[in-house]
């Protein structure tokens, strides 16, 4: 071995075992750098950033570790998949304002890679939370942070999950091994296929899951708190201890464990505070489909849900259930509209439907949730959730996977759909027919049965009388058809605004310009007033305001400004007209001065929005869909153009009940306006009734 090589090895060994610090502040600015052997320390000396090598490796990495923990414990690694094998690493801020890691050959092994506006200088700061941030010095705006790019460790108050603004789904990935911090096979991340929940994967295979939101307590264990966040910016969670002085971390291990550690300063070691999966039933799908797993059952942990039986009785007898699971029993009774019902399963981990998924329905009572599931033949189970003051609903469709007995009062009851025969069987099992309810039923039957002939005759007379009634056209449009029309109109406008080769603003959307074919599919017509915007153009202005009063947005009617949000306003009016069966220009006995928009708004703030629903669809509408539609309509007709959603957001809100919808602000044109009032503020003539004034002009 030559002397130069030996010298390099000795220097590297010295740096590994005797690190020194010539940079002890928490901030790194331009024209400064951190070289191998130097460290940057946070203000309160909670964390350090510098270069390190794992236990039995000579490779060098840039990482962050606990400064107050004697056993060096890494919480973040920059170049985890691009190490270098000498002590030449340098971390600095380059001319573009980015943090960059270079090796001896001046190769960039890692960079923050963000866009810095103008010539503003930047600075890197290590916060006492363990977060490395790159900020713009003139306004302290955070351009990049290590918390958005975690490795295998979650620290207190560090968000894990989806950042809706940036599109980042922050997740944890294990090290490859104890000596290699490279990206491993075990991943802990937010799964958005069903209700939000976190999954631990081994490769591509689900290994453990938390269970869906929102129903679990905000306490994970003892004094560990979990804060779930679901708003317009975030869909994530973070944890913290009551005592912020306690040093903790959550780690994904390469063996497939998710572990919460607490530092024991007296014994100078990490103590495991919580881990998962821990028991037999914690493993995802331990007993297969349509089954329930009970770790306390010493004989066999697996059993089938009510109404189901082992797919392979022989395998079940041999205590092997995970491969095959359970299937519907062979009672021969239909599970759709044949007096089926639900069996209550208490204190269980909610299921997961990997194929067809779930539906989350907000603001729905237990009974409404149950009936909605019964109406859908694909609905296999439901639960009713208490989220603050609201009672919400969760439906499952298709396979029910990974149900586990929890014995925890915080877990809600799950209601599993069974046919009539199994319903009767389980009723006998859980209380017997001659219980209190059974005896009451016998008393009622003894009174009702003698009266059956009279009841039947009365029913026939009422039915025949109803058959003799000029059904109206509006009654032929039940809620299901109306909702389909609303969706179709929204998709058509979305096509004009975004999917068409040219961006088209219709400018005269109204109910009379929506045509229906034989199958009630809506078609947008009359493009006489339509204008085309350039690809990069957001809005335009005209001196001649043309269109139909009652459907025009305020910025267009008053100032002649039109954009995609002008069509959104018109769509909102159409939506409210479809729900109510009334014209926006109609009159109301209680308040003759109110428009339809004003009438709906008044009912909305009084929590009486359903009073506006067309009486001809009273028996057919779905409460949560109607309320959601009214709320979307009010969002579309808000006065400030910036408050209105675009058509993509509208369609997403209509399609999925899982979307969080903001509360609408007071809309425009609440009170009726005369033609003279409108003409006095507009710069040109406009129509004030159903007649459209069309100007032909070159585009």
CA distance 502 to 490: 18
Cα separation, 575 vs 598, in Å, equals 14
Contact 630, 609 (CB under 8 A): yes
Q: What is the 3-state secondary structure (H, E, C) of 192-217?
A: CCCCCEEEEEECCEEEEECCCCCCCC
384 touches 369 (CB < 8 A): yes
DSSP assignment, residue 499?
A: I
CA angle centred on 337, ends 332 and 341, rounded to 5°: 80
Give burial (CB, 10 Å; 0-12/13-18/19+) of 210: buried
Residue 23 Cα distances to 39, 49, 73, 135, angstroms: 6, 10, 20, 19
Active-site position among 508, 567, 614, 657: 508
Instruction: Please report, for residues 159, 279, 328, the alpha-carbon distance to residue 274 in angstroms, rounded to integers and kept in the order given.
Output: 19, 12, 37
Q: What's the token pair of residue 627?
A: 């309320």
Burial track 612-637 (b if 16+ CB lie within 10 A, e otherwise)? bbbebbeeebbbbbbbbbbbbbbbbb
CA angle, residues 454, 459, 462, in degrees to nearest 5: 125
SS3 of 624-665: the string is HHHHHHHHHHHHHCECCHHHCCCHHHHHHHHHCCCCCCCCCC
If we measure between CA atoms, which residue out of 101, 97, 95 comes closest to residue 78? Answer: 101
Angle at 665 between CA 581 and CA 595, to 5 degrees: 35
The CA distance from 79 to 74, in Å, is: 13
User: Per the structure block, which two tokens stand in for 98?
Assistant: 């980015």
Among candidate residues 39, 72, 66, 47, the one with its CA nearest the CA of residue 126: 47
CB 302 within 8 Å of CB 418: no
Q: What are phi and psi of 290, to 5 degrees?
A: 55, 40
Cβ proximity of 353 and 400 under 8 Å: yes
Is 282 one of the annotated active-site residues of the chain? no
The residues near 284 (Cβ < 8 Å, ≥ 6 apart) are 199, 206, 207, 208, 209, 401, 402
3-class DSSP assignment, residue 370: helix
The residues that are catalytic are 508
């Amino acid at each position: 071995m030559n002397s130069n090589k030996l010298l390099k090895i000795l220097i590297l060994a010295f740096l590994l075992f005797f690190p020194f610090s010539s940079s002890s502040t928490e901030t790194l600015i331009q024209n400064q750098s951190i070289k191998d052997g130097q460290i940057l320390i946070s203000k309160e000396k909670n964390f350090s950033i510098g270069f390190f090598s794992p236990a039995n490796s000579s490779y060098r990495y840039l990482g962050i570790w606990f400064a107050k923990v004697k056993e060096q414990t890494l919480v973040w690694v920059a170049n985890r998949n691009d190490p270098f094998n000498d002590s030449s690493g340098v971390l600095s801020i380059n001319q573009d304002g980015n943090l960059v890691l270079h090796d001896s050959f001046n190769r960039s092994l890692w960079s923050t890679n963000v866009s810095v506006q103008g010539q503003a200088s930047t600075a890197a700061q290590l916060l006492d939370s363990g977060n490395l941030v790159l900020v713009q010095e003139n306004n302290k705006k955070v351009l990049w942070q290590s918390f958005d790019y975690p490795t295998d460790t979650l620290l207190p108050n560090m968000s894990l999950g989806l950042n809706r603004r940036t599109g980042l789904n922050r997740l944890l990935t294990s090290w490859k091994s104890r000596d290699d911090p490279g990206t491993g096979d075990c991943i802990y991340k937010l799964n958005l296929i069903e209700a939000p929940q976190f999954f631990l994967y081994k490769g591509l295979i689900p290994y453990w899951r938390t269970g869906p939101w929102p129903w679990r307590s905000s306490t994970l264990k003892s004094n560990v708190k979990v804060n779930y966040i679901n708003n317009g910016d975030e869909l994530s969670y973070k944890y913290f201890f009551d005592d912020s002085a306690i040093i903790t971390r959550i780690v994904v291990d390469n063996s497939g464990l998710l572990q919460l550690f607490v530092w024991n300063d007296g014994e100078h070691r990490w103590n495991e505070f919580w881990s998962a999966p821990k028991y037999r039933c914690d493993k995802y799908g331990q007993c297969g489909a349509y089954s329930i797993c009970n770790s306390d059952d010493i004989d066999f942990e697996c059993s089938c849900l009510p109404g189901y039986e082992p797919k392979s009785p022989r395998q079940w007898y041999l205590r092997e259930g995970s491969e095959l699971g359970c299937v519907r029993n062979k009672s021969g009774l239909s599970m759709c509209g044949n007096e089926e019902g639900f069996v209550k399963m208490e204190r269980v981990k909610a299921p997961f439907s990997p194929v067809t998924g779930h539906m989350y329905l907000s603001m729905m009572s237990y009974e409404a949730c149950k009936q909605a599931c019964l109406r859908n033949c694909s609905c296999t189970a439901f639960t009713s959730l208490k989220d603050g003051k609201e009672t919400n609903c969760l439906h499952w469709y298709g396979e029910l996977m990974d149900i586990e007995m929890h014995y925890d009062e915080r877990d809600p009851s799950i209601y599993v759909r069974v046919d009539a025969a199994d319903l009767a069987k389980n009723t006998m099992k859980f209380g017997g027919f001659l219980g209190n309810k059974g005896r009451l039923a016998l008393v009622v039957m003894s009174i009702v049965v003698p009266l059956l002939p009279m009841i039947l005759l009365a029913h026939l007379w009422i039915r025949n009388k109803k058959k003799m009634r000029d059904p109206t056209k509006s009654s032929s449009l039940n809620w299901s058809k109306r909702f389909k029309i609303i969706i179709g109109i929204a998709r058509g406008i979305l096509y004009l605004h975004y999917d068409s080769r040219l961006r088209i603003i219709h400018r005269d959307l109204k109910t009379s310009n929506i045509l229906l074919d034989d199958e009630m599919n809506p078609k947008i017509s009359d493009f006489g007033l339509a204008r085309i915007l350039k690809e990069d153009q957001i809005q335009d202005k005209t001196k001649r305001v043309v269109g139909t009063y009652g459907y025009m947005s305020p910025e267009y009617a008053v100032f002649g400004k039109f954009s995609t949000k002008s069509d959104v306003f018109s769509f909102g009016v159409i939506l409210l007209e479809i729900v109510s069966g009334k014209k926006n220009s109609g009159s109301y006995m209680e308040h003759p001065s109110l428009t339809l928009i004003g009438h709906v708004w008044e009912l909305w703030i009084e929590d009486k929005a359903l009073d506006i629903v067309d009486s001809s669809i009273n028996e057919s509408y779905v409460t949560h869909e109607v309320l959601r539609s009214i709320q979307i309509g009010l969002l579309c007709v808000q006065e400030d153009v910036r408050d209105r959603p675009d058509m993509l957001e509208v369609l997403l809100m209509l399609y999925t009940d899982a979307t969080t919808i903001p509360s609408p602000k007071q809309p425009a044109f609440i009170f009726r306006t005369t033609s003279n009032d409108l003409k006095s503020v507009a710069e040109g003539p406009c129509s004030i009734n159903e007649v459209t004034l069309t100007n032909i002009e070159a585009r």
